[in-house]
Amino acid sequence: MQSNFWDWKAHYDHQPVETVFDCLIAEFLLSQGKSVPSQELAQHLYGVQTLDELAAKQLAKFQQLPTLYAYFTSLELPMIPVLWQMEQTGIFLDVPCLQQVATEMDVAVTELEQSMKKTVGFEINLKSTVQIGTFLAEKLMVPLQKTKTGKYATNETEISQYAEQFPFIQSLLQYRELTKLRSTYVETLIEAVAEDGRIHTRYTQVAAQTGRLSSSAPNLQNIPVSAGFGQKIKSCFKAAKGKVFLSFDYSQQELRILAHLSKEAALIKAFQEKKDVHTATAAQIFSVKYEDVTKEQRMIAKTINFGVVYGMSSFGLSAQLHIPVDAAQQFITSFYTTYPNIRKYFEQYLTEGKMTGFVETILGRRRAVFEQAGHTTIDNSLRRVLINYPIQGSAADLMKKAVITIHQQVVENNPDCALLLQIHDDLVFEVTDNAQVIEDLTVKVKKMMCEVYPLAVPIEVDIKIGKNWGEMTRI
């Protein structure tokens, strides 16, 4: 007998997956990624009084969409027991360690404040965008754009392009990052520690249109890893006594999916030959030999590679690389000259999406092209979103598929292993600190992740081990 739920995870009690229908997730899929209404509103929209009637109506819709229904039953529903178990397990946070990091951050922020105010020469509120904008534009003569309200724009995108010319801007960006880390993560994390000393984040399957999981209460997916203090914060998450962390991270998964979808021979060849794809792109764009590519050229190529995945414009690339828009456009043109099938794929994909009204991931999850009735034009903003959808969305799908297999065949009922976190393309396990256990898990999980789907290029996984989340070494 089928049990119907609105958000099964919130009512989870070890029911067999095949006996459950989750109306919340069903509506997320059937609405093609649009915002999901409340249970009451969904029942009103379907003209039903009960959850059972709603499930019947949704099931009737699914019967017209067999691929989407297969996705619902084989991926989204089986993910719920996995996520529930991850949430119950949690991850240990060393609170004294994090409090020490907070003290160090306070010292760093104070030193930055003193240095910046000395540069300014008069009293200024560093958190006031108006005062900062006036100082940058009228005292340092930084050529800032103005917002619609007539004030100087001081957002990161605007001011970062001048960071190399103005040391004050470098300090300002660092100050903002530190204060955000301090308020957004340190205090929030300490407050979130449960009685067992662990943090139990909550995962949501219906928040991101791409199908990626989102984490909340607290969010463990967005702790910056580039900042030194971001790394220190992560180092306060520690494995339990007698355990270690194992991390399995898909390597350049979205670029591999782009190569598969576009059938771009040059990109496929680079992956098949196990070349560094950013170096390979740089060699083509700058017309140099692969072995002669410089670090700067590789960095530019890497920014372009990932920028294309996210539909980045020449303006966005210019801001990222701190170069003129014309130069950024030349780089993008060179990229599409190097990989012409990628441009063809995007154009064909958008044309088909406009005709059908939806776009799809590899496994058949859909996103509506036009969210509102009557819209017929794909503007630049929507174009970027749509271009990213089959790439990031397919990566999310394949990760779910891998996680379900790993949970069912490796983790479930295994006292030596627990899956703690999924951070986009990365899985973090807590494992008994035993050489044989570690070796067995490493072999099995890597095999399952690499064989999750037959892409046109090999799938690679980077594996790390460590006693804490911030300091892990590659295996």
- Whether residue 227 has pLDDT greater than 70: no
**In terms of Cα–Cα distance, which of 2, 434, 371 is closest to 209?**
371
3-state secondary structure of 349: helix
Return the structure tokens found at 468: 């804490």
CA distances for 151 relative to 132, 146, 187, 236, 318, angstroms: 11, 5, 32, 40, 23
- Model confidence at 356, pLDDT cuts 50, 70, 90, reads very high
- Whether residue 352 has pLDDT greater than 70: yes
Task: Encode 362-389: b = buried (16+ Cβ within 10 Å), e = exposed.
Answer: bbbbbbbbeeeeeeeebeeebeebbbbb
More confident residue, 468 or 323: 468
Evaluate whether 368 touches 32 at the Cβ level (below 8 Å): yes
pTM greater than 0.85: yes
| Least confident stretch, 48-62, 93-107, 155-169, 393-407 | 155-169
Q: For the chain, what percent of residues have pLDDT higher than 70? A: 99
**In terms of Cα–Cα distance, which of 356, 307, 345 is closest to 328?**
307
Alpha-helix runs per DSSP H in 248-323: 253-262, 265-272, 277-285, 295-309, 314-321
Q: What is the pLDDT of residues 228-275, one digit of tens each?
A: 898 999 999 999 999 999 999 999 999 999 999 999 999 999 999 999
The vertex-15 CA angle with 92 and 364, nearest 5°, equals 85
Q: Which residue has the tokens 């170069």?
A: 323
Q: What is the pLDDT of residue 322?
A: 75
Average pLDDT over residues 387-407: 96
Return the structure tokens found at 221: 């997916």
What is the residue type of 287? S
Strand partners, 21: 4
The vertex-155 CA angle with 152 and 160, nearest 5°, equals 105
CA distances for 371 relative to 176, 341, 351, 354, angstroms: 35, 28, 17, 12
Average pLDDT over residues 194-209: 94
- Whether residue 73 has pLDDT greater than 80: yes
- What domains, with CATH codes, occur in the chain? 3-89 (no CATH), 94-192 (1.20.1060.10), 242-252+397-474 (3.30.70.370), 255-389 (1.10.150.20)
- Whether residue 77 has pLDDT greater than 80: yes
Average pLDDT over residues 389-397: 95
What is the residue type of 325? V
Largest CA distance in the chain: 74
Residue 69 CA to residue 408 CA, distance in Å, equals 21
Average pLDDT over residues 102-118: 94
Q: What is the pLDDT of residue 164?
A: 83
- Model confidence at 226, pLDDT cuts 50, 70, 90, reads low
What is the pairing mode between strands 243-250 and 358-360? unpaired
Mean pLDDT of the residues in the chain: 93
Those residues whose C-beta lies under 8 Å from the C-beta of residue 219, and which sit 6 or more positions away, are: 201
Task: Encode 71-103: b = buried (16+ Cβ within 10 Å), e = exposed.
Answer: bbeebbbbbbbbbbbbbebbbbbbeebbeebbe
Average pLDDT over residues 150-162: 88
CA distances for 342 relative to 265, 304, 375, angstroms: 10, 13, 26
Q: What is the pLDDT of residue 359?
A: 94
Cβ count near 215 (within 10 Å): 20
Q: What is the pLDDT of residue 315?
A: 83
Q: What is the pLDDT of residue 314?
A: 85
- Model confidence at 371, pLDDT cuts 50, 70, 90, reads confident
Average pLDDT over residues 201-209: 93
Q: What is the pLDDT of residues 374-383, one digit of tens each?
A: 677 888 888 8
- Model confidence at 65, pLDDT cuts 50, 70, 90, reads very high
Residue 11 CA to residue 51 CA, distance in Å, equals 14
- Model confidence at 1, pLDDT cuts 50, 70, 90, reads confident
Evaluate whether 189 touches 199 at the Cβ level (below 8 Å): yes
